[in-house]
Amino acid sequence: MSEVEVTSPVRAVGAKALAAYLIEEIASGRMGDGIKLPAERHLSEQFGASRGAVRRVLQNLKDRGLITQSVGSGTYVRPGAARSLPASSQMQAEEQELSVQQTSPAELMEARLLIEPLMPKLIAWKATTADFDKMAECIERSEAAQSIEEFEHWDGELHRAFAIATHNSFFMKILDLTNRVREQGEWGRLKSMSLTAERRREYEAQHRAIVAALRDRDADAASHVLAEHLRQVQRNLVGA
């Protein structure tokens, strides 16, 4: 299988530009079935996106059935991926990008407080052992993180794991949008300024309490702790 090179000019930089580029290349057939994508490091350098942001873009494409990933081998365009995308993918990606850019961290936290505490009811009902294993992995990796960026990545992945555990596509789409906003520079700037060692320990304890309540299928307790966690993040991040 051949490996594609990123040679096309890029009008913008960052994770969103990378996502738009990959989707358009797959939709147009320029990245054909079985083509191997460049390594994460190369994509990160080419598009000016963090490695964590690149991983989130690739995970999203994988979830959409557009690519496959194999440890030790690489990332490939899934056979038939182009047929699942409309010809106007680039336009749609640009419209989504504009929408995401217009969402401030304060607006994001307001929306998260309204939406995410609703998820535990579905999680308590539908979550599988695999879902809980993924939550545990996210917690362990976030606690082992050596940088704010790495911690932020696994924090986002934990909340995404909550959405996946609802087994409801609406919540999954909402959390994907949430992580796209979190990749914006303003969110990263505020998070780096607000995330002290003490606050990180508090977040980690809250994460464990949420997952423990979910494992007990106690939706009310999980919802309460999740809401308190989000309110604390909101206060620390934007002073609300």
Closest to 126 measured CA to CA, from 174, 178, 169: 169
pLDDT category at 8 given cuts 50, 70, 90 is: very low
Query: DSSP secondary structure string, 18-42?
Result: HHHHHHHHHHHTSS-TTPBPPPHHH
pLDDT (tens digit, 9 = 90+) per residue, 99-135?
445 677 788 889 899 999 999 999 999 999 999 999 9
Asked whether the predicted pLDDT for residue 139 surpasses 70, the reply is yes
Q: What is the CATH number of domain 103-238?
A: 1.20.120.530
Over residues 24-39, mean pLDDT? 87
CATH architecture, domain defined by 15-91: Orthogonal Bundle (1.10)
SS3 label, residue 65: coil
For the segment 176-214, what is each residue's pLDDT rounded down to a tens digit?
A: 777 777 666 566 666 677 788 999 999 999 999 999 999
Task: Give the pTM.
Answer: 0.62
Q: Domain spans of the chain?
A: 15-91, 103-238
